[in-house]
A = this chain, B = another copy of it.
Amino acid sequence: MSHTKAYAAYDAETPLKDFDLERREPGPHDVQIEILYCGVCHSDVHQVKNEWGNSIFPMVPGHEIVGRVTAVGNAVTKFKEGDLAGVGCLVDSCRECENCKDGQEQYCKNGWTGTYNGFERDGKTPTYGGYSKQIVTTEDFVLKISDKLDLKAIAPLLCAGITTFSPLRHWKVGKGHKVGVLGLGGLGHMAVKFAASFGAEVTMLSHSPSKEADAKRLGAHRFALTSNEETIKSLGNYFDFIIDTVSAPHDYNVYLGMLNTNGVMICVGVPPEPAQVVGFNLIFQRRSIAGSLIGGIAETQEMLDYCAEHNIVSDVEMIDMKDINEAYERMLKGDVKYRFVIDLATL
């Protein structure tokens, strides 16, 4: 075992603090990574506060990890010492079910292993995430990272990026489609960038007029103020897809009415309370509400390669490790453009 200092929440009441973390020595198929940057995902806050009721403490959050390979097991073929590498939300899965075999590990029938707040396949060794100096991960779940892009701005691609890229690819969103993006946060700003890059007409849906300029800078073609009833009315039956990135409670029915025939509202945010859905809003125009979860490993690599080719990264604000709690507070207020990234040199 190697030891590395990490930040951890010991329980829902205790603030984050130092934690002497044991990481396994790299096995034959493992890659050891010195973590350089780690993005701060909205789910980190949910988990630290045990808002989903499944938190395991002590916890080391963080699943938007980029760094440099410091050691590899003797059977590793994809990576060598010194390579850039990334780890996203998954560090393992059963590898045997139809979804794993199909490269959709995020829908593993036997439950994938979360990068943190989970257990290794042995069912008892806890996993610890990226608010840490180091991680050891089986090479099949490590991503290759391009040196063409700003490394710290790549980190959020590992969750916010793939979570929006995957549904846009699954539903084949592109030229000729009208896409609404609901919420301009970590996920929303990536959804705008990807949907625009894929050739769709992108409308930012926001209740805050102050977001218009930035939304357009990020690639949105249109901005619609959702607090304006006339605007909502004018968007009736308008969109082919709405990517809903909002995890605060909101009225789905307002947005369902904006979907055209066969339109799909794709939820990637999870509000804490069940959403209320009026049946007629689905039945008229044969609309759907769908969910989508992160993406598979192969698809995550495809996304990273696409980003390198098309010069797409996240807009980030760098923070020191000690400022994580303040970052959480600001994130909950939507006060971040558009993802906090921890510089692990500050740990």
Contacts and interface: CB of A to CB of B under 8 A. Distances in A.
A205 to B, nearest CB: 18
A274 B277 contact: yes
Question: Quick one: copies of this chain in the complex?
Answer: 2
A277 B277 contact: yes
A293 B283 contact: yes
A286 B253 contact: no
Interface stretch (A63-71, A135-143, A264-272, A309-317): A264-272
Interface residues of A, number: 36
Nearest to A109: B237
A292 interface: yes
Contacts of A170: 286
Contacts of A289: 277, 282, 288-290
A296 to B, nearest CB: 11
A237 B67 CA distance: 37
A176 to B, nearest CB: 13
B264 A288 contact: yes
A280 B283 CA distance: 22
A292 B107 CA distance: 27
A178 to B, nearest CB: 14
A274 B271 contact: no
A306 interface: no
Contacts of A283: 267-268, 270, 291-293
Contacts of A268: 283
22 contacts: A107-B286, A170-B286, A253-B274, A264-B288, A267-B282, A270-B280, A274-B276, A274-B279, A275-B276, A276-B277, A277-B277, A281-B291, A282-B289, A282-B290, A283-B291, A283-B292, A284-B291, A285-B293, A286-B291, A286-B292, A286-B293, A288-B289
